[in-house]
Amino acid sequence: MRRKLMSMKHLRLAELLSQPEKYDTVVVRGWVRTFRANRFIALNDGSTIENLQCVVDFENTDESLLKKINSGAAVEIKGQLVESMGKGQSLEVMVETIKIVGEADPDLYPIQPKKHSFEFLREKAHLRVRTATFSAVMRIRSVLSFAIHQFFQDKGFCYVHTPIITGSDAEGAGEMFRVSVLDPQKPPIDDEGAVDFKQDFFGKETNLTVSGQLEAETYAQGLGNVYTFGPTFRAENSNTSRHLAEFWMIEPEMAFHDLDDNMDLAEEFIKYTLEYVLEKCEKDLAFLDQRLANEEKTKPQNQRSPMGLMEKIKFVVQNEFKRVSYTEAIDILKNSKPNKKKKFDYLIEEWGTDLQSEHERYLVEKHFNAPVILYDYPAKIKAFYMRMNEDQKTVRAMDILFPGIGEIVGGSQREERLEVLEKRIEELGIDAEELWWYLDLRRFGSTPHSGFGLGFERLVLFATGMSNIRDVIPFPRTPQNATF
């Protein structure tokens, strides 16, 4: 009997529920979400947000078996697929045989059929994907990654794999994780009394990369249009709902592209991926939309978002992003109510200050009520590689700011003029020798070129309506936390 059960091809629920009329007797496998009244199993196998109700004939089932049908247990069920009389589902399986594939002790299994806080579930990150919310988020994350490749591949961009271990600090922020095999107890010391990294694995100091941009630029100057999509690491001690120490970034880089081309591509790209998710993830989005609506109801009226999740996504897809120079933005902020009434934590007093997230949110959520692309930032608050404008004060940078998220994209037109770049590097006290290969790009066949970086988790945050970035990556890495 058992052998026969195993040999019958089992169906994943997504397939079964999309064309139920094709099936009569089915074999399904998955995990028990709930077991009600010794009769109704809500089964889920991860292929869809929907559970399948399986009805157990408890009068003819061993009590010892019934006792093992607990939340979290893995089961295999064979039975007839029929229309359901009950409320809440249109189909159910009349269980003929049930096999407990893997038990879950109800006294120990932490994911019980009740509402758990996201904080609690973060501590159970190895099991949280068995909840409806996390499985929906992770399916959307998967579809979004595919959409990203589809977008660039359709446009003929080449996917390049830039190194994860690097000697350069692309962003110049010094927030890097060192990669070393030296003994931390007694590292070799050089003549000057400093740690002798010449004796380290690579014969020099190396780190985990903060960005693949500099290496991507080398490939753009040969392949034309390229993109990276890989993990990046930042040892910034920002314990916020939008920062991770390990996150994924997409970085396209294009030869013969100026800043306007760059902004056009970034806007088209974001809209494409969100539209893709709207089309492919209808059920997961509907579930997360409802989740968000319920969460909003617990907030005071004046803090509730006026738009639902799907509405927000559609709004972004259908509307043009507002393009505003940094200088215009500073004027708007200077004259804004919260600035005049001293409501901002950081008041905007003069041109040249960096924008805080409260300012970005004011521009996006209050003033423009749309995604905003800010461009031409003061050179002194941006990285060394951005192209200097004629005013000698601003650089061709652009950041895309999103409602509820803040900065989702950072990019720029790159400085392609050798002398100008060398001067910038010197002014900032960066080691030009380390960058000899980067400078070579400006020596041989230099082109005006541009690119940007999109923080993948910030896009997933937006697309799922989740509020903490730790909940859109399987195993978040944040200060003081690297369990799993």
Which residues contact Mg ion (rule: CB under 5 A)? 410
- Whether residue 27 contacts residue 43, with contact meaning beta carbons closer than 8 Å, is answered with no
Regarding 471 and contact with ligand 4AD (CB under 6 A), the answer is: no
CB of 116 to Mg ion, least distance (A): 34
Regarding 170 and contact with ligand 4AD (CB under 6 A), the answer is: yes
Q: Looking at 45, 215, 416, 457, which residue binds ligand 4AD (CB under 6 A)?
A: 457
What share of residues in the chain are helix, strand, coil (percent, to 5)? 35, 25, 40
CB of 451 to ligand 4AD, least distance (A): 5
- Whether residue 457 contacts residue 472, with contact meaning beta carbons closer than 8 Å, is answered with yes
Of 308 and 404, CB closest to ligand 4AD: 404
CB of 304 to ligand 4AD, least distance (A): 25
Of 79 and 410, CB closest to Mg ion: 410
Helices 309-318 and 456-464 pack at an angle, to 10 degrees, of 120
| Contact track, ligand 4AD, 247-276, x by CB under 6 A | x-x-x-------------------------
Q: Which stretch binds ligand 4AD (CB under 6 A): 109-117, 181-189, 345-353, 401-409?
A: 401-409
Strand order in the sheet with 158-159: 158-159, 225-233, 246-255, 449-455, 406-413, 394-402, 372-378, 322-325
Of 112 and 239, CB closest to ligand 4AD: 239
Q: Looking at 452, 465, 470, 476, which residue binds ligand 4AD (CB under 6 A)?
A: 452
Q: Looking at 33, 271, 312, 458, which residue binds ligand 4AD (CB under 6 A)?
A: 458
CB of 137 to Mg ion, least distance (A): 24
- Whether residue 25 contacts residue 10, with contact meaning beta carbons closer than 8 Å, is answered with no
Of 81 and 208, CB closest to ligand 4AD: 208
CB of 116 to ligand 4AD, least distance (A): 25
By CB under 6 A, what part of segment 111-150 binds ligand 4AD? none
Helices 282-297 and 309-318 pack at an angle, to 10 degrees, of 120
For 78-96, b/e burial (b = at least 16 CB within 10 A) is bbebeeeeeeeeeebbebe
The count of other CB atoms within 10 Å of the CB of residue 192 is 6
Distance of CA 11 to the CA centre of its chain: 30
Of 330 and 469, CB closest to ligand 4AD: 469
Of 110 and 222, CB closest to ligand 4AD: 222
Q: According to DSSP H, which parts of 166-281 are helical? A: 213-223, 259-280
CB of 150 to ligand 4AD, least distance (A): 20
Residues 6+ apart with CB under 8 A from 154: none
CB of 407 to Mg ion, least distance (A): 6
CB of 102 to ligand 4AD, least distance (A): 35
| Contact track, ligand 4AD, 215-244, x by CB under 6 A | -------------------x-x------xx
CB of 284 to ligand 4AD, least distance (A): 22
Tell me the residue nearest to Mg ion as measured from the CB.
410
CB of 248 to ligand 4AD, least distance (A): 9
How far is it, in rounded angstroms, from Cα 172 to Cα 382? 9
Beta-strand (E) ranges in 10-137?
25-36, 40-44, 52-55, 74-83, 91-102
Residue with tokens 């902020």: 333
Of 355 and 460, CB closest to Mg ion: 355
Regarding 408 and contact with ligand 4AD (CB under 6 A), the answer is: yes
How far is it, in rounded angstroms, from Cα 146 to Cα 313? 18
Taking CA atoms, 106 is separated from 32, 34, 68, in Å, by: 12, 11, 9
Q: Which stretch binds ligand 4AD (CB under 6 A): 201-209, 302-310, 449-457, 474-482?
A: 449-457
Q: Looking at 103, 358, 407, 440, which residue binds ligand 4AD (CB under 6 A)?
A: 407
Residues 6+ apart with CB under 8 A from 137: 284, 288, 460, 464, 466, 471, 472
Q: Which stretch binds ligand 4AD (CB under 6 A): 40-48, 219-227, 292-300, 408-416?
A: 408-416
Residue 2, burial from CB neighbour count under 10 angstroms (0-12, 13-18, 19+): exposed
How far is it, in rounded angstroms, from Cα 224 to Cα 194? 42
Regarding 211 and contact with ligand 4AD (CB under 6 A), the answer is: yes
CB of 204 to Mg ion, least distance (A): 27
Q: Which stretch binds ligand 4AD (CB under 6 A): 142-150, 302-310, 437-445, 446-454?
A: 446-454
269 binds, among ligand 4AD, Mg ion, none (CB under 5 to 8 A by kind): none
Q: Which of 100, 103, 211 is nearest to 166 (CA)?
A: 211
Of 243 and 442, CB closest to Mg ion: 243
The Cα diameter of the chain in Å comes to 85
Q: Which of 375, 398, 396 is nearest to 387 (CA)?
A: 396
- For 360, which DSSP code? H
Residues 6+ apart with CB under 8 A from 166: 206, 207, 208, 209, 215
- List of residues contacting ligand 4AD (CB under 6 A): 170-171, 211, 213, 234, 236, 243-244, 247, 249, 251, 407-412, 451-453, 455, 457-458
